[in-house]
Amino acid sequence: MASQPPIREIDWKKAAQAVQDVATAQNVPTSVFPKPTEAPTVPHSETSPEGQGGATRLPKTARPAKQSVPAPSPTKTFSCVLPVYLIEEIQSRTFHARPHQTTNYTTLMAFKEAGFHVKAEDLVPDRRRSRPKA
Amino acid sequence: MSLHQRPIVISFSSPKGGVGKSTTCACLAGSLAARGNKVHILDTDTNRTLADWALDFPQDTTGITVEAISEGTNLLGHLRQLCSTLDGFIFVDVAGAWETYALAAASVADLVISPAKLNVPDLKMAAKTRAFLDHLGTTLGRPITHRVLINEVSALASSHYQRGAFKSLESAPFTAFNTLIGDRAPFAEIFSTGQTPHFADQSREPVRKAVAQLDELTNEVLATIDAASQDIPMLTKVAA
């Protein structure tokens, strides 16, 4: 067995009191576990196959209609020299705006807000997450 | 002086769900088990993630035992009993919500680990956890050792984004482990294969990388507990 670091002795009484005090002060709830539930029983008419013990049939539904999503516009790399503080602000805003948002999106939004024409289909927070699955 | 001997207690805690508490708990348990330690996991989460994992793959959790804690259990009383009968490590995996089991586990833990991903909601919750533990520590009369574990760091994520995120960590009101856990398949695979990276097929490159990260984390966890205990009186060495 690997060697363990030294450890302190636990004051169980003090711990129990502290838990009670903090739980009361901060209104911390006790754990409530969900109870296992059974599927709700639906009464069937006596003449239906289900009512006579047949297999449950689900109603047939039409396939959902496919929605056409406009394809994003073609892109290409465009490089320009920016002050470091501006680059840092773009990175910072990308991080703080919301998770999984790219710097590309932050920059495009800035262009749009400045009056440039940016198509809605090109404003995708993170294109990697919207790629169609193979 | 009598030699005091008890298992090391580590709690995995965050009021937010989906941050990686159960996965980290299982992977770290696997790492310690691979070093010859016994790890007993108390699953207090209502979702029973780890209890179900142990039931599904009983043969793949060598050195690790998992116990599901039911509603109404006196967790502190149970931990006290376990501390007097077990050796090695006790891990407490708590639910993604602030409730009394999280408080109880933190009140006796040698280390509280809050996993978080590199995004604002997770990091905010890690900061809230720190504030909550500070309150508990003040009431207890001793500081609670707490570390945030940044996990699911993507090698594919934009370096700009990650740099921005890491920069915000520098001013964060908590201490994070230096070790970062990557977004690697072997971590998620434990729930489909039953094997933690240390017990998975190490001929696979992703598994070897996951093992290397976990080894680094395990060393840092042990060093953190060791360093924290230097500041606390009434210390006794546990026999190796």
Counting residues of chain A whose pLDDT is more than 70, the rounded percentage is: 57
Q: How far is A35 from chain B (nearest CA, A)?
A: 10
Asked if B222 and A5 count as a contact pair (C-beta separation under 8 A), the reply is yes
**Distance between CA B129 and CA B109 in Å, rounded?**
14
pLDDT of B11 above 90? yes
Counting residues of chain B whose pLDDT is more than 70, the rounded percentage is: 90
pLDDT at A41: 54
**Distance between CA B173 and CA B70 in Å, rounded?**
34
Q: How far is B39 from chain A (nearest CA, A)?
A: 12
Asked if B34 and B198 count as a contact pair (C-beta separation under 8 A), the reply is yes
User: In this structure, is residue A61 part of a structural domain?
Assistant: no
Interface confidence: ipTM more than 0.90? no
Chain A partners within 8 Å of B117 (Cβ): 99
pLDDT at B232: 54
Query: Tokens 């009434």 belong to which residue?
Result: B234
User: In this structure, is residue A48 part of a structural domain?
Assistant: no
Nearest to B120 among A12, A15, A96 (CB): A96
Query: Which of A8-22, A34-48, B145-159 shows the lowest mean pLDDT across its residues?
Result: A34-48
User: In this structure, is residue A12 part of a structural domain?
Assistant: no
pLDDT at A38: 59
Query: Which of A28-32, A117-121, B61-65, B128-132 shows the lowest mean pLDDT across its residues?
Result: A28-32
pLDDT at B82: 94
Say if the Cβ atoms of B37 and A10 lie within 8 Å: no
Bigger pLDDT: A53 or A33? A33
Residue A89: phi, psi to the nearest 5? -70, -40
Q: How confident is the model at residue B9 (pLDDT cuts 50, 70, 90)?
A: very high
pLDDT at B72: 84
Query: Which of A68-72, B27-31, B174-178, B193-197 shows the lowest mean pLDDT across its residues?
Result: A68-72
User: In this structure, is residue A52 part of a structural domain?
Assistant: no
Of all residues in chain B, the one with the smallest CA distance to A15 is B107
Mean pLDDT of B120-125: 84
Q: How confident is the model at residue B238 (pLDDT cuts 50, 70, 90)?
A: very low
Bigger pLDDT: B22 or A128? B22
- Collapsing DSSP to helix, strand or coil, B130 comes out as helix
User: In this structure, is residue A101 part of a structural domain?
Assistant: yes
- For residue A96, the enclosing domain spans 84-127
User: In this structure, is residue A92 part of a structural domain?
Assistant: yes
pLDDT of B2 above 50? no
DSSP B12-26: E--SSTTSSHHHHHH
pLDDT, averaged across chain B: 86
Mean pLDDT of B79-100: 91
pLDDT of A20 above 80? yes
pLDDT at B231: 64
Q: If you average pLDDT over each of A26-30, A114-118, B52-56, B76-80, which comes out highest?
A: B76-80
User: In this structure, is residue A89 part of a structural domain?
Assistant: yes
pLDDT at B57: 86
User: In this structure, is residue A37 part of a structural domain?
Assistant: no
Say if the Cβ atoms of B104 and A33 lie within 8 Å: no
pLDDT at A42: 54
Say if the Cβ atoms of A22 and B135 lie within 8 Å: yes
Residue B149: phi, psi to the nearest 5? -110, 115
Give a three-class secondary structure readout of chain A. Answer: CCCCCCEECCCHHHHHHHHHHHHHHCCCCCCCCCCCCCCCCCCCCCCCCCCCCCCCCCCCCCCCCCCCCCCCCCCCCCCCCCCHHHHHHHHHHHHHHCCCCCHHHHHHHHHHHCCCCCCHHHCCCCHHHCCCCC
pLDDT of B158 above 80? no
Nearest to B101 among A3, A4, A31 (CB): A31
| Number of domains within chain A | 1
Summarised one tens digit per residue, pLDDT across range A39-76 is 555 555 544 554 454 455 555 555 655 556 677 888 88
Chain A partners within 8 Å of B104 (Cβ): 15, 19
Tokens of B195: 């094997």
pLDDT at B71: 81
Say if the Cβ atoms of B95 and A29 lie within 8 Å: no
Mean pLDDT of B30-53: 92
